[in-house]
Amino acid sequence: MTRRVKLLVNDVPIDLDYFVQGFIDHTVAGMIAGLEDTGEIEVLNLSIDGDKVRINLNNAPLRANAFVSKIIKNTVAGLLSTLKGVDKIAKINISIWR
């Protein structure tokens, strides 16, 4: 089943083509699936504001320690920094849903 991805960087929507949408989906969903106590991803909201990482999986907050938060932040920021229209990244919001 195909998931949909919505991306905002610094509160600005970023248009995603099919490849980038799928790449973000697989990368972010893969990181979240690797955490303890996660199940099927129906709705995933990931927000990064500075060093603060918030994960909401299927309408429930998901806790991540400082190490995991840093890996998620750096991986996502690195991925998004290559996208057209993305310059300095201060804030990221990614929503993934079926």
Q: Give the DSSP letter of residue 88.
A: S
Check residue 98 and give its pLDDT.
Answer: 82
Check residue 2 and give its pLDDT.
Answer: 66
What does the angle CA 98 – CA 41 – CA 32 come to, to the nearest 5 degrees?
A: 130
Which amino acid, one-letter code, is at 96?
Answer: I
Alpha helices by DSSP H, the chain: 18-33, 66-80
Which uninterrupted H or E stretch holds 55? strand 52-57
Which amino acid, one-letter code, is at 19?
Answer: F
Check residue 39 and give its pLDDT.
Answer: 84
Check residue 94 and give its pLDDT.
Answer: 98
d(CA 86, CA 8): 10
Closest residue by Cα to residue 46 from 5, 87, 89: 5
- pLDDT tens digits in sequence order for the chain, 98 residues long: 568 999 999 999 999 999 999 999 999 999 999 998 788 899 999 999 999 999 999 999 999 999 999 999 999 999 999 998 898 999 999 999 98
Check residue 8 and give its pLDDT.
Answer: 97
d(CA 16, CA 5): 8
